[in-house]
Amino acid sequence: MPFPLTPVQLALHTSSALYPQTVARGWVRHTIRGPLDPALLRRALTALAGRHGMLRVRIGHDGGTPHQIVTPGAAPEAWIETRTCPGGGAALQALETEFANRPLDLTAERPLRALLVTEDAEVAHLILAVHHVAADGYSLNVLGTELWTLYTDLALGRAPSALPPAADFASYVTDARRPAVRADDLAYWTARLADHTPLPLPYDGRPDAEDGPGPLVAVNHALDEGLVAALRERAAGWDVSLFHLLLAAYARCLARWRRAAASRSTSPARAGTPGCRDSTGWSAPSPTPCRCC
């Protein structure tokens, strides 16, 4: 049964249509040391996609209005790739970069891809890439935890039934679109953002900007392991995700750069959204305010 896109999903879908070569996705690499059974891994990935409908979602159009629909499961050969890469290193990084930056067309293919790269008999890497319309960064944590739980069950000869049923994202979207819920959300955020003045930034792409529309540029920067570990520890101490910690730092830098008293942004959070903590998808109606003074 088709169901609507959330506001965040619609924005991502529109962006993908306008800039088809700009990849809107998240990805993660799992490094496995020790024996790995590729056949069991395929079964675990197939079971994972069967649990989460958003991993099988497609985008369609009805009278010009996009909608999403959950499709039946597909054979794993259609979306799980295997490669060999003796020694890893730069060759592995090149494989990961090419795989992660490959565009995903949700009108014709599923949002999840998997690449299993074997270095040798004792080291392998599983790279998962998922379109942002179907999953956010938090979802990758959920998927990773459940995948290896399913794999362990299969390796021990147990039926993969220990996990609780996954939440139905379609039901969540339908409930969030009820007029009463939307009215409450609108009233809440109208009050919270009433005193907020947008920061004027150069090169933000506004046609009326003094410096003219700026370029659309994506920059990737790798942080050293020590800094990443320290950031994770700080985020855990404040009971927030690493993403939300960095978002707060980013907002603070913007405010300091423009000599403003404060800046504010929002980002989806799941703690207060029933049924969404262990699901995949965008819990857009429950943003977390981030105000930096």
Position 2 pLDDT exceeds 80:
yes
Position 34 pLDDT exceeds 70:
yes
Per-residue pLDDT at 10: 86
Of the ranges 29-33, 59-63, 111-115, 271-275, which one carries the lowest mean pLDDT score?
A: 271-275
154 vs 174, residue with greater confidence:
154
Task: Locate the domains of the chain by residue range.
Answer: 3-166, 199-292
Per-residue pLDDT at 238: 87
Per-residue pLDDT at 205: 55
- Assign 284 a pLDDT band (cuts: 50, 70, 90): very low
Per-residue pLDDT at 218: 56
The 3-class SS string of the chain reads CCEECCHHHHHHHHHHHHCCCCCCEEEEEEEEECCCCHHHHHHHHHHHHHHCHHHHEEEEEECCEEEEEECCCCCHHHCEEEEECCCCHHHHHHHHHHHHCCCCCCCCCCCEEEEEEECCCCEEEEEEEEECCCCCHHHHHHHHHHHHHHHHHHHCCCCCCCCCCCCCHHHHHHHHCCHHHHHHHHHHHHHHHCCCCCCCCCCCCCCCCCCCCCCCCCCCCCCCHHHHHHHHHHHHHCCCCHHHHHHHHHHHHHHHHCCCCCEEEEEECCCCCCCCCCCCCCCCCCEEEEEEC
Per-residue pLDDT at 278: 60
Is domain 3-166 given the CATH code 3.40.1190.20 in the classification? no
Tens of pLDDT, residue by residue over 99-113, are 988 888 888 888 889
Per-residue pLDDT at 271: 45
Tens of pLDDT, residue by residue over 181-205, are 778 878 887 887 777 776 666 555 5
Position 33 pLDDT exceeds 90:
yes
Nearest to 138 by CA among 257, 241, 25, 47: 241
Per-residue pLDDT at 270: 47
Q: What's the mean pLDDT in 21-41?
A: 87
- Assign 30 a pLDDT band (cuts: 50, 70, 90): very high
Tens of pLDDT, residue by residue over 203-218, are 555 555 555 444 455 5
Tens of pLDDT, residue by residue over 119-164, are 999 999 999 999 888 888 778 888 999 999 999 999 998 877 667 7
Per-residue pLDDT at 9: 86
Per-residue pLDDT at 181: 75
Per-residue pLDDT at 163: 75
- Assign 273 a pLDDT band (cuts: 50, 70, 90): low
CA distance 245 to 231: 8
Per-residue pLDDT at 116: 95
| pTM to 2 decimal places | 0.74
